[in-house]
Structure formats: C-alpha cells, structure tokens
Structure 1
Amino acid sequence: MKKKVNKNIHLFLQIFSILGLVSLFLIFEIQEVRAESVNDVILNAPDGTSLADAFNLMPVGSNSHATIAKNKNGNDVCVLTDDNRDQRAALWSATNYQLDLNKDFDTKMKLYLGNKGRYAADGITFTLQNDPRGNNAFSSSTEGGALGVYSSQEARNSTEAAQEALQNSFSIEFDTHQNEGKGNAYDENSHNYKPGPNHIAATMPGNPETYDVYSSWLTQKVKVRHNLLTEPINLPNGSLSNGQWHDFEVHYDHITEQITYVFDGQSRVCNLPRTVFSSDYVYWGFTGTTGDDSNVNAVVFSELPKAVNVETTTDVLKNNTSVINKDVNMGDTLTYSLKATYLGGIQNWTDVVGEEFLNPYVEYVPHTLAVKYPETGTITKEEPQITPENHLIAPELTNDLGDVHENKWTSVEITFDVKVKNIDSNQKIIKAEDYTEFIGDNYTVRPYETSYQILNDEALRPQIKLSDSLANASVSVFPTDQSLTIDGEWKDKDSNTVSLFYKLNGQERVLQDNVSNTAKDSWLPFSQEISLADLNTGDNQVEVYAKDAEGQLSNHESFKIILNQGNVSFKSIDPEIQFKNMVISGTTVYSSPQATVGVVVEDTTGIPKDWQLKVKQTTSFSDGTRDLPAQLTYLNGEEKLSINDSSAVVLPVVQNNATDYSLQQDANHQFQLAVSPGAYTGEYQSQLEWTIERVP
C-alpha cells in the first residue's frame, strides 16, 4: 500500500512538471506577439488622398476603435481595427459617391495588415454592395472570420448563410488567419479546394453558391468557396501581416463587366455581372475584423475613382490661332494653353499640378508661364521645373478647384511659350507629340496627347558657319580700322546659287551675291571684307546668314564688333641710344647715334593728329665719378634744338601708316652730341624722358 502511494505521487510530479513547461512556452509566445502601436502605424503611413465627403466610417459595436486620422504629413489614414480582440468596422462610400457600373472605374490603395505574422487575425475586405442597409451595412455575424461580409457559423444551409451575409455584394478578402475547425470553418477544404494560410480571394458573400454548409447533431461548419470566381492569390502564413504597406489597385471595365485587381504585383481577373447587385449603383469600401487573435488593419487611398469630375483641354497656338494637327515652322514661338474646369464632385480638386511632357523639338521660353483664374481675374507668374527629358512641371495651383464648401475657383488656365528648335533631320515633316497631365491630391487626369507637324525646312535649307575666330566672338576695332574680313563656310543640298548676307545692328547688307553652289551638300569656304564706316561706338551686333535661290534662309551665326574710341600711346621706344666713339681734343668734338633711334607712337583715334612728341634730358652725362661737359641737340633741318633738363623739346614725326608715327630721322634730322674741351675719357650715360602731349 505504501508503495502504491509513492507511485501516485511520482505521477503527479511528472504531470506538474509537464504543465509547468507548457506554461513557460505559452509565456514565451505571448512575448513574441506584443500588441502593435496603432499610433506608430498612423504616423508613418504613406501619403494618400483625402477621405472628406467621400466616405463614412462605421464602427460596429462598442468595442470598435475604428478611426480616420492624419499621418505625419497630414494625409488621411483609415484604421479599421487596432491590435485588440473582437474589433469590427466598415468604411463605406457616401450616398452621393456610389460607383456607377455603367462606367469604368479605377482606384489605388495602400493596405496595412499588421506586423503579427502568423499570429494575425482576421483581415479585411474590399467590397462593392447594394445591401438594403446602404452605408450602414455589415454582416450579422460577430465572428472575426466572417470579415464583416460573410454569414455566421450557425447557418444551417447555404441559403440561410447567404441571407445572413452582406446582400447584393462582391468582396475581395485579405485573410491573415486560416479559420479551421468546429465553429470556425470559413477556410476549410470546400469542393476539393483549400486556400493558402494567407490569401486574397474574390467572392460574392450574398450568393448561396459561395457557401458549403455541413450540419449535423455533432458539428456545424460553414465553409466559403474561395475559388468560385477566380483562383485566389495564395501566400505563406504570415506574409500579409509583415509590417509592410501593400499595393492594391482595382480596375473595372463596364463593357466586359470584368474586374481586375492587383496586389503587390500579382493580378486576378473575374467576371462581375451587374445582376449581382440588382442595381447599376453600388456602395463601396472596406470592412475589417479581428477575433481571438488580432492585428492592425489600415487603408490609405492613393487614388479615388472620380471624386471630382473635371474637363481638361490643351491647345497650342501660333499668333492666337490653334495649330493642333497643323503645320508650324522651325523658329516659331508657340503658346501652350492648358485648361482645367471643375464640373462637379463630392470634393474640391485639391493640390493640383499641371504637367506637360513636351516634345524634344521645342524649348521653354523663360519667364512666360502664367496661371490665370477666370472667376477672379487673378494671374500668378512663377517659373516651372524643366526636367532633362523636357518635362515641364508647373507650380502647384495656389487655389483648389471646385464648389464644395463655398470654394469660388472652378477653372484655371496655364499658359507658357516655347520656341521650335532647328532640327537636324532629313525628314521634311516631323510630328511633334505632347502629353498633358493634371495631378491632384484626390484625382489625376491621365496623360492625353496633342500634336502638330513641324515643317523641317532645315532638311533643304542652306547652312552657314563662321570661322572659329569669329563665331560668337567679340572683335575689337578702332576708328582707324576701315574694314573687317568675315569668313567661314556654307553649304546647300539642292540650290544652284546661294547669296550671303549680314546684318549690322539690324540693317541687312549683301555679303556675297549669287554664289555658285559648285559642290552641293558640301561645305564651301567664303571670305569677304566689310566696311566699318557705320559702326557705333561700343558694341555692334553682326548676324551672318545665307539665302538660297528658292528663298529659304539658313541658320544665323553671330558675333560682336566693339568699336573703341582709340588713344595715342607709345608703341615702342629704344631703351638706349648709343653714340659713336670720339677722340678728346682741345676743341669741341661731335658725335651722332650709331643707329636710327626707334621711337614709334600709335594713334588709333581716327582724327587728325592733335599731339606732339617731346623729349627732355633728366640727368647729365656721367661715368659715375665725373660729369661730361657735353650738349645733346637734335638737328631739325637748319635748326638746332638743345635738349636739357629745363624744358621738353618738341621733335618732328613722320606718319608710317594709318596709325603709326615715328621720330623723323635723316641726314638733316638727327641727334647730335657736342663734347667740349677738357673732357676725360670714359663711358658716360644720361637719361631722356619721352612724352606725348595733346595740342589744344
């Protein structure tokens, strides 16, 4: 008996130890799936469009924490559930913002399904519905696995299940938790198909065919047929609730009655007959739930379908006449007019930016962009952004467009000029295609095309280029300059003769007339002097161009002639004058320079000479120890001009050319040095000072 008691005690200790290990394991798991901060999710959510006036948030039950809040940039974020158990909510479009199934629609969103991985539950749906409860509709089931659209697990057959579910509805479910087992069988195998642990599936919650109901006295199971409309997007467990925002977009084609949805790059297409809804107009939005497990479920709308109704047009004008689908010429200045008019909607069109994808053959003319608001006559001017791809981005409109909440601006016109560039192409006609796009916070007008044709006269026009010394250069001249040579090359593809012209300060003149085109489509040299008689003091603009026999003009090459006023200055002076050696005697001896004294004055004033050349001796002749008794003179014919330090002496000059004058020197005009008796032998030096003086 004692031995039996000991055995029971031993078994008890074993069971207790096992339970203790299980307890520790469960505590460890709870630490790994901490509740997520919904505030962090909201704050760091991506930017999106405003939900104001477009949607109504419907918390379901007193436990719901659903909210529409602002991210760090002030954009709307809809939180359907936070990371708490038994949350339920729906976000439905406003009554005046139902989708019209007679028209296509597109919408883009960012979805956040928590960071709980395989411990997340339960998910959300994107749903279109015409339930009698309108934008108060929600499944009667309180179970998280119903996702707000399906029946409860208590339905006894598929008809009853459809009646409990959202009526006249279509849903795309994002299921973060695989529901299996008694009373929780939504994701069990049905008709030989079982969805993945995480899945995105299209269903019709109000249709009996959606359900596979198994009912007995022992168990009750309501299964959803996830592949009834199209193959689900099946994902590994925990893939949806990975702490990332997921891309989701929906496109509806009213002609084919097909809906296409894309989740993180994976797409599915399924038929969506309007008979599903018993109406052409449906409410749309999201539902979200949690159950015993939970995760944050949030939505940001990147693009809403027709929250605003606008009309946009683009025109291109030349001299106030439209050139759409017409011809323009190279060098033309064109005015682009981008107009947008608000026609209606549930919101104002906010934060609108007009953009033009310009063709590569034009360039924006700086300081021409203007934004005009016709209702108020307001005009603003601000430079656009021009990308390397010639994409013109106008500044964001200072006013929203619309009439909601007493807004007074309903239209805008953006205008700017471009210049058609010269095109190096053999095509005679070039099609220029532009694309206009208006991007707003809540609506985007997708790029649409405008076009015109550019007549490429350049293909047959003559071409001209100046020599490197002239092209875009500044050439300085003086009043004494009479002419300048213009040289370069020209070519023409087909004409027999070409005439060359130049414009001096806007006045056209002939450079060379009817020059024979001896080598067609090859560069031929030209060189021609032009008169400088009509220059203005300072800058003078010169344009050089060619005109062929058919009258087609070439490109214009330009340079600048700068006419200086001119001045009088020394061009050169010999640094020293060496006299011939002499023998000292008891009488005065004379010596002359060994070579002609080089003194040249340059006069570029272009007026009659009004100056004098003067010279003065500033120091006596000395060898460093004693002075030389000598007198320097200049023989000016029969006149002897004494040069000393008392005053400068005027010397005669002769004109060498249009600008240069030199000291007159010949047998009767030269320097002379007279050395008096009593001088000592040696090498003596003195200094002269040369000056130019104006004559009154």
Structure 2
Amino acid sequence: MLKYLVCGLIGLEMGIAMGGPVKPAMATDKPDDLTTALEKTPQGILVKDYFDVGTSDLSRSKIVPSNNKLSPNTGVAQITNGTYQVGAVWSKPNRKFNLNHDQTLSMWLYFGDGHENAADGMAFVLQNDSRGKDALTKFPSDQKNKIQGETLGVWGVDDDKTISNSETLKSHVAQTAIQNSWALEFDTHLNMNNAFDQIGEANSFDLNTNNTPLAGPHIASNYPGKEETYSPHTAFSESLFGWIKNYVYYTSINHQGILPNVNGAVNGDNQPNYNFLANGQWHHVTLSYETASKDALTGKMTYSFDDRQLNTNAESRSGMSATVELVKKNIDPDHTGSALWGFTGATGAWGENNLVVFDQIPDLVDSDVKATLSTNGKPVADGGVVPHGAPIQLDYKLRYLNGSTPWQNIVAKINLPEKVTFRSATITNADGGQDELPMGNTDFSTRQVAYQLAHTLSEKNPWVTLSFKGETQTQGGHVPAAVSAFNGTEAATQATTPEFTVDQPEISLKLQTDTTVPLDNTKPLVLTGRVDLGKLQYRNSELRMTSKLNGIVQAEQPMSDSEQPGTFRYVLPANILHTGDNDLVLTLVTADGLISQPLKISLEPLESDTSVGQGRVQFTNTTGQLDFIEQLTGRAQDVFAQPGFSLAVSDTRRNGSWTLQAQTEPLVETQSKQKLAGELIYKTGGGAIPLTNVARPILQHTNAGTDSVTNVTDDWQNSAEKQRGLFLHLSGGAVAGNYQGEILWSLLDAI
C-alpha cells in the first residue's frame, strides 16, 4: 500500500462589481466609506446637548446619527467628508475643560480608508481664542475655496514665500492659527515639500528640524498660536552663473509627544505605515489630564491611542501612549481656569471622512468600572490558571467618581467568559441592599446578560456591584478576555475580564494491540486499548475517537455503550497502510469538548504479493498554483480554476490501482483574515464533492495491464456539455478580497 502527499497553494482574487474589469487583490467597487463607518459606529453618547458645531462661514461640520442598531443613543460629529473642507465642533460654554482639576475624556475616531491616499486628518484642541466657537485657522481671504489641508483647521498657514525673514515668517504662521490653544493632531497625510519651486503651497509641516521627513502618519501635539511651535527652513534655487542663488523660507512644526516613534512608524522595509490611522477602522483614544492644584502653572496630558478595540471593546495589547506638559498660560492667558475644547479638521485636494464619537466628556460624569474574577476568594490574574470545577465569582463594580450630573439610564450589556457555568447573579447597592437579577429573563448559557440598573449613580449613590457566581467547566483550555459595556445617557464605559486558562484534566489512552510486528493490511485492522478518565465519568456514547494517519485526518469513530467501559476499539480500513512505517495518532474527545493526550502509534504492513507487478505509484508533473478570478454577482456561483495548474499520477505497476484524495481548510482573506463564504468542490460525472478538512476520494484508476501516467487536470473542463474538475463554489454573501489556502492531495494505493 503506497500513499503520497502533495500540497498546492490556492490563490483567489475577486471583484465585487456587477460588471467591468477585475482588479487583483482588491474589490473593483465598495460600499460608501461614510455609510460603512456609520453602520459600524461604536457605542457613545448623544452629543447635541454638549457641543456646538463651528459657526465660522467656512465650517462644514455637523452632527449626524449613528446607523448601528447595536449602538443606540449615539451621536457622531462629522468634521469633514470631502475635498477642500474645514470644520470644527466645540463644547458648549457650560461644558468647558477645567484646567485646574484632573480630567478624563475619551472618544472613538474615524479617519476614512484612504491609507496612502488619505487626506489630512483632524485635531483635538483646547482653546481660548477670542472668536470662541467661530475659531478656525485664518485662511487667506482670496482662497476660501482652496483650504490648506495641512493646517487641520488649527495650525497656521505657511503660504507666503515673499517673507524674507525667518522670524517674521514664524510670527505670520502663528498669527493665522487658532490663538491661545493646544492641539493634539492625528495627521493622516505627510506634508513634505522642501524644493524651491514648491514653497508657498502650505505643504511642509511634516519635516524634522534637519529637513528630513517624518517616518509616516502620526499623532503629535504643540501650541498652534506660539511662534516657537514652527521651525524655519531655507530652500535655494538652482545656481545662477555658477554662484548666485535665490532662497525662500518655509516652516515645519515641532512635533511634541509623537506617536508612534520613528521605529514604530515604519514597517520592516522602512516604508511609512499608512495603515496606522486612515485604515477604515474606528480608533479609541483616551486623554487624561492631571494638575497638582488650582495654582499650579502646568498640567500633564496623557493621550492613549488604540487603547480599546472595536470588535471586542477589549483593552488593546498593542495600544500606545505619550505624556506632554501643558503650560496653562499658553492656553489660558487670562487665568479663567477653563478652555473650550473640541475637534477641528481640514482637507485639501484629497477628501476624507473625519468622524468623532464621544463616550466620556469632562465635567459631565467621571466614572469607571472594574471587572474582578476570583476563585475561592483569591483574584485570578491575567494569564492565570484555574482548576476545572473550581468556584468562580465575577464582580463588575461601577463607580461614580464626580460630575455635574448623575449617571442615568445605565444599561449593562455583559459578556460572560467562556468555560464557566454561571448559576446566579446579584446586585449590591452602595447602601448595602441586594437585589436578585430577574432569573426568568436570564439565560446564562448564552453568556450574554442585558440589564438596566434601577437606580442612577451619583454622589449619594456612588457605586453598584453586579456579581455572578458559578464554577469552571470540565472542558479545559484558554479563556479569552470578555468585554462588557455599561452605557448611560452621560457616559459609556467598558470592563474587561482577565484572560485565563482552565486546567484541563488529563485523559490518556493506552494501546493493548501488539503493533511491534508487521500487520495484515489486506483486511480491516482492529486496534484496542484502555481509556483512563481519571475522576471524570462519561458513558461510552459520550466519547468519540479521532485520528490522523500519515498526517491525513480520518473519519471520526463514535464509541458505543455496548462496549466495555474504560476500553476503546478503533478500526482501520483494509489496504490503507503504505509500504514501510505508517504514523497513526489517536485522540479521544468527550461530548463536552475535552481532548485526551494524543496516542502515537507506528504501524508496518506485511509485504504485499508482488506478482501483480513491480513498480510504484507517485505524483509527477505537479506544477503551478490554483487561481480563481471572478466578479461577484451577489448570487451563488461556481468559479472554474484558471489554466496553469497541472497534476499527474505515474503508476509503473502493470496491474496497479489507486485513488486520488483531496482535503483543505477554509480559504482565508490575506489582510482581514476572514474566512471565505464558499468552499472548494470537485465535480465529477456523479455530482459535486465538497472538499473539507477530511480527505475525500475524488478519482479512482485501474491500469489495463500496463503501467500508466494519468494527467488528472487534462480532463478538467467547464462547458455547457460537461463540468469536471476543481471549482470554487461562492455563496451570494461572498465578500471581495484576496483569499489563500492549501489543498492536500493524497494517493491511496488500492492493490
């Protein structure tokens, strides 16, 4: 019995147009970016009661509703959505930022999906400009229809190449910025002009002091209205008459607290990371301000980027942060103790959807929530191990820290961690009273609990704890973090449980069949052994055997209650072993997912009668990769493999017979890692055979008294009369992308 393996790489490129050419590795059409962003809006708060849209004649900002049904009562500040735009939203006068007390605010930001073709970005701004909510960059009056995008609506304008003094130029640029301000920019477009003939186009802010460009899109801060924020440079013309040169001045910005740093901003090939900001994803940002006292001259602002993830709201393991000093008089020269705050943005020749969703604003409600997981009264640390069957208590403690209004209408959307069976829940109020969660409406098996708190949180009722009790399941393994949201009218926050591992009990198998001698492979081979379940108790009907033979997944074999408990019986089909050593791996799987330690067995068959002819069967002339390229229609379709792939089988035995098998895992998109809504199928005269992770026979062959070479792919065709060979079946919900995977081909010698 011979068996050979060969792997083939599958490439899939699809367009999602109803017509027109296909573009490799990308969709030929896509949903509108703004529509997509609003449909994926994260949970926030309604903003219309707390913000004013900028009232400057130039401002294009507005408040739009979320289109995500999973994020109710959420308002979205749309700063820009096209080319040559500028916009701003500012806090209402009664919602100013208090510079004399610690403050925390957080929001979700969206910068479009332009990547390397992104526009310019936006900026968080604190300001006491005399124009108030009219404040924006002072653009030249004759250029109202040509906004300089690099300003982001807050920095000054560097467009006057007639200024012949560097200090004068710094003063001019600073005076055109929003005055008495501090800005944290989210810059999605590099402005790097430094050639003589390009000066005066307001396109050089992203140069270092040595005139080299920044590494890529970035986050950074400084004071837009201060001259020292701007660093002058000199550009020279080509030499005239060998020695005379003209020169002009231009400026860049001194970037403070830059994220990411130079090393983090580039990929391994030293190219800018344009996936950092404008990548079609919502990004979470938290700003924490601290000041020693009302009389302190400075404060510290810490800004954390990507500190939560939208798909799970989990605390990100790849977030980054920076801390900078804020000189209060630079923002508040009149010592009022406060500042307007909000967002500005601007675009030039390239448009961009710049959107903001607020989930916590300062001096409204300052709150937090903490998730604590414990067993036997001891906290479970991140990455900890919990025994199976151990008691578990999960506490969510919500705290009202301070604010100008109570935290009202709080809805808890709790996702309970996996591998834990929860049985009860209680609510403990600050006054010590307890309430039972309405069990009639709570199904803990779904691991999701939604509940609206009966009372608001305020200074009089500053905290509440939701407690869930149960025990870990026998099914061991890793338990990922579970994220729960607590959304009220004035604030929305999240809590994340620690990742941990349930210590899986050991189940072992012991072989009793003697496999040290060659085995008769011409009839089914029965292997028997013992099963050690430890302290666990299962009926045989709750157990099944899984296996791999020479790396190929075999069909599962259920156990039966008619067999003796504590034993197993596993049957290999006749003629499945190839000549020489064969590697068999057996595992036992319980009905609730426990997996035994693998039992590895080496099997060698008796030599076959060679009278049928000497020789061997093997793959030959296997070349190329399988490609499927097609436009999506929104309907199910079968796509035929492109030319270029060849697969042949050589059998040098006169009377040899063989079976060709194939198996594959689902195809995965190379960037998003999403599985394709479809499957590979092999069409024969008898119908279509779906390919799965279990080897399936797709072709059988018997030699007619002579050896043979069979080119499998020669018979593949796609016509009205005949469809045969490898096809990709796509469902109507397939999404365009570049998908890849592998096919494992195997030969079964059937002599």
* Same fold at TM > 0.5: no
- Which structure has the larger Rg over C-alpha atoms? 1
- Which structure has more relative contact order (CA 8 Å, sep 6+)? It is 2
TM-score, structure 1 normalization = 0.44
TM-score by length of 2: 0.41
